[in-house]
Amino acid sequence: MNMNKYLDVAPEVAEALAAGKPVVALESTIISHGMPYPKNVETALNVEKVIRENGAVPATIAIIGGRLKAGLSEAEIEYLGKTGQDVTKVSRRDLPVIVSKKMDGATTVATTMIIAAMAGIKVFATGGIGGVHRGAEKTMDISADLEELSMTPVMVVCAGAKAILDLGLTLEYLETKGVPVIGYGTEELPAFYSRKSGFGVDYRLDTPKELAAAFHAKLELGMQGGMLVTNPIPEQYAMPEDVINKAIDQAVAESVEQGIHGKATTPFLLARVAELTGGDSLESNIQLVYNNARIAAQTAVELSNMNA
C-alpha cells in the first residue's frame, strides 16, 4: 500500500485492498464534465451500485481540497456533480499545481489511473478513453490518456475511444506505445456510441477470467503500462452509425469554427453531439458506462482470485 502523503484511501477501499478483495476505480470527469446535474450524480451512484452487485468495491477517484481521493462519499459525489464544470478537469500535467494550491479536481482517465495505481487498484471502468483527435497531424492534439496507458499498470475497461476521435490513429499510437488493445467478445474496435468502427483490435477475449489472466500475466512479467479492454455498447443502446457520425462531423466542424481546442474540446463535442441527437447519445453514454462497470467488476473478482 503506497503511503503517499497526498493520498486519502476511503476506509472501505483500504480494507478491501488490504484483504486482497476486488476493487474497481471510477473517474470523476464524467460526473463534473460529462453530464448535466442531477443526471451525473444519479449515474455515478448507479455505477457504484453495479460494481457492488458484481462482487467488487467501487472507488470513485477525484481531488478534493488538494487531497487525492481513492473512494468518495455520497456527499462528495453530490458536491462534484453540483459544482459541475467549475471543478477543474485534471490530467497528469495539472496534478502538481492542483495539489499544491489545495484545489478540487475531476480526474480524467490518465489521472484516475495515476491515483488508482498509487492506491494499489488494478482495474478501472470508464466510458471512453481519450485519443488522437481528428486533424492531429496539424494540431498534435493527442490525449494524455494514451501516454498513461503506456506507463501505468492499470487495466482500463471502456467502450472504445470516444467516437469524436481519429480511431485509426489512436490504435496506431497505442501500438507504438506497446499497449495491448483487447476486444471483449469482439474482433472489432467498438466506437463508443456504436459497436463497430471498421478497425480491428489486437486480441479478442471472451470472458472476465481471460481478461484477468492476460493482465495477471502482464503484471507478473513486470512489464510497464496498462491494458485497454474495449467492450461494445449493448446492442439495444447502440446508435445508428450514420446518425452518430453525422452529428459528430457537424460538432467537429463547429469546434474548429469556434476555435475550441485543448481540454475544452471533448466536453464541447460530447455536449454538442447530445444536443444534435436529441439526448439519445447521453442515454447511450450512461448505458455503456454501466456495461463497462459490470465487466470491470467481474474481471477484478477473477484477478483477486488469481492473487489469492
Q: Are 154 and 25 in contact (CB under 8 A)?
A: yes
pLDDT in tens, 33-63: 888 899 999 999 999 999 999 999 999 999 9
Residue 115 — very low, low, confident or very high, per pLDDT cuts 50/70/90?
A: very high
pLDDT in tens, 128-184: 999 998 888 888 889 999 999 999 999 999 999 877 889 999 999 999 999 999 999
What domains are there in the chain, each with its CATH number?
7-307 (3.40.1790.10)
Cell 500475466 belongs to 217
Of the listed ranges 1-5, 197-201, 207-211, 241-245, the one predicted with least confidence: 1-5
| Predicted local distance difference test score (pLDDT) of residue 123 | 98
Name 159's Cβ contacts closer than 8 Å, sequence gap at least 6. 127, 128, 190, 192, 230, 231, 232, 233, 288, 289, 291, 292
27 as an active site residue: the answer is: yes
196 as an active site residue: the answer is: no
Query: Residue 186 pLDDT more than 70?
Result: yes
Name 271's Cβ contacts closer than 8 Å, sequence gap at least 6. none
pLDDT in tens, 93-112: 999 999 999 999 999 999 99
Q: Averaged over 245-257, what is the pLDDT?
A: 90
Please give the angle made by the CA atoms of 148, 15 and 306, to the nearest 5 degrees: 65
Residue 223 to residue 214: CA distance in whole angstroms: 12
Name 87's Cβ contacts closer than 8 Å, sequence gap at least 6. 28, 32, 33, 80, 104, 105, 106
pLDDT in tens, 252-270: 899 989 998 777 887 788 8
Residue 112 C-alpha cell reads as 484516475
Residue 291 to residue 269: CA distance in whole angstroms: 23
| Predicted local distance difference test score (pLDDT) of residue 70 | 98
Cα–Cα nearest to 166, from 184, 182, 146: 146
Q: Averaged over 58-81, what is the pLDDT?
A: 97
Residue 271 C-alpha cell reads as 455536449
Query: Residue 188 pLDDT more than 60?
Result: yes
pLDDT in tens, 281-308: 888 889 999 999 999 999 999 999 998 7
Query: Residue 1 pLDDT more than 80?
Result: no
| Predicted local distance difference test score (pLDDT) of residue 113 | 98
Q: Are 56 and 22 in contact (CB under 8 A)?
A: yes
Residue 237 to residue 285: CA distance in whole angstroms: 9
Query: Residue 2 pLDDT more than 60?
Result: no
Q: Are 242 and 200 in contact (CB under 8 A)?
A: no
**Among the residues of the chain, which ranges form H helices?**
11-18, 29-32, 39-53, 74-83, 95-100, 109-119, 136-139, 144-151, 167-176, 208-220, 241-257, 265-276, 280-307
Q: Are 61 and 28 in contact (CB under 8 A)?
A: yes
Q: Are 230 and 190 in contact (CB under 8 A)?
A: yes
Query: b/e per residue, 26-58, with b = 16+ CB within 10 A?
Result: bbbbbbbbbbeeebbbebbbebbebbeebebbb
Rg (alpha carbons) of the chain, rounded to whole number: 18
Catalytic residue, chosen from 89, 122, 162, 263, is 162
The predicted model scores a pTM of: 0.93
Residue 110 to residue 89: CA distance in whole angstroms: 11
Residue 253 to residue 109: CA distance in whole angstroms: 25
Q: Averaged over 17-28, what is the pLDDT?
A: 97
| Predicted local distance difference test score (pLDDT) of residue 3 | 58
Query: Residue 214 pLDDT more than 90?
Result: yes
